[in-house]
Every structure is written in structure tokens, then in C-alpha cells.
Amino acid sequence: MTAIRNRVVSAMALCCLIVVTACSATYRNHGYVPLDEDLQNLVVGVDTRATVDDTIGPPSVSGMLGDGNYYYVRSRVREFGMYRPEVVERQVLAISFAPDDTIANIERFGLEDGNIVPLSRRVTDSSVVSNGFLRQLIGNIGNLNPGDAFN
């Protein structure tokens, strides 16, 4: 009887351990932002885009144009059980360039500095979604051209 009790207690302890570890938060890190020590090697107004690439590396995101600004982005996301993932930390390092391709400004932004930007998608409505299978089939009867079958 004690052997069965020990197995039940061990199984219950294992289940409790699994439940406790499943509810712990996990963190994911994305992106890259250079360290401050590396940024101290860059001089505003003197260094160019090429020296930025050599010193701290090219960014994962750049401006809208090929000769746009550099943006280094790093974020940390917390996932906790069944809840939606939450961004707990985000850093953006923006390096802007002057027209002569030298560094104009180096700025660092955090999650507390940002605003939520609603993105809108422009999607063309398709008339196929509202039509059922039979309606599409019957609608195609008039669109058939017998000459196309013999070409």
C-alpha cells in the first residue's frame, strides 16, 4: 500500500512541477543595437556611411530610399502561458546622414518614447468571396468562348 502511495505522491509532484514550469515566462530577443562603446568611435559630421558600416555593421532596417537613414532595432518579447506576447523592451538607434553622406545625428529611442502607430492595409475587395460555388459556376456559362477550345 505504501508503494502505491509513493507512486501517487511522485506523480502528483511531477504534475505540479510541470504546471509550475509551464506557467513561467519566456523571453525572446530580436534584432541588434550597437553598444555605446562602439558608438563612441563614430564622430558626427566626420564619419561617413562607409565608416558606419565598417565600425558597427550595416543595419537590418534602413530608410525608405537606398541612401536613407540607418535604423538599428532591438526588442524583447515576453510570453507568459496562454496570454498574448507582450513587448517589454524596445530600443531604436537612428543614425541620420547629411546630403554629403556624413553622419548628421545619432539618436536612441526606447519603448517609452514611442507611440502606437496604427497601420492600415489597402486590400482590394474581391467579388469572389460573396459568391457561392453554384453562383460562380452559373456565372461562367456566358463567359465561355468555343473558339478558345480549338486553338
What is the Cα–Cα distance from 66 to 58, expressed in whole angstroms?
Answer: 13
Following CA atoms 125, 130, 135, 140 in sequence, which dihedral angle do they give, to the nearest 10 degrees? 10
Residues 3-17 as b/e (b if ≥16 CB within 10 A, e otherwise) read eeeeeeeeeeeeeee
pLDDT of residue 24: 78
pLDDT of residue 64: 55
Q: What is the pLDDT of residues 69-101, one digit of tens each?
A: 888 888 889 988 778 888 888 888 888 888 888
Q: How many residues does the chain have?
A: 151
What is the Cα–Cα distance from 4 to 10, expressed in whole angstroms?
Answer: 10
Over the chain (151 residues), what is each successive 10-residue block's mean pLDDT?
83 79 81 88 88 87 66 88 84 87 87 57 54 74 72 65
pLDDT of residue 1: 66
pLDDT of residue 138: 75
The whole-angstrom distance between residue 4's C-alpha and the CA centroid of its chain comes to 51
pLDDT of residue 130: 66
pLDDT of residue 22: 65
pLDDT of residue 109: 84
Residue by residue, DSSP assigns 18-43 as: HHHHHTSEEEEEEE----HHHHTT--
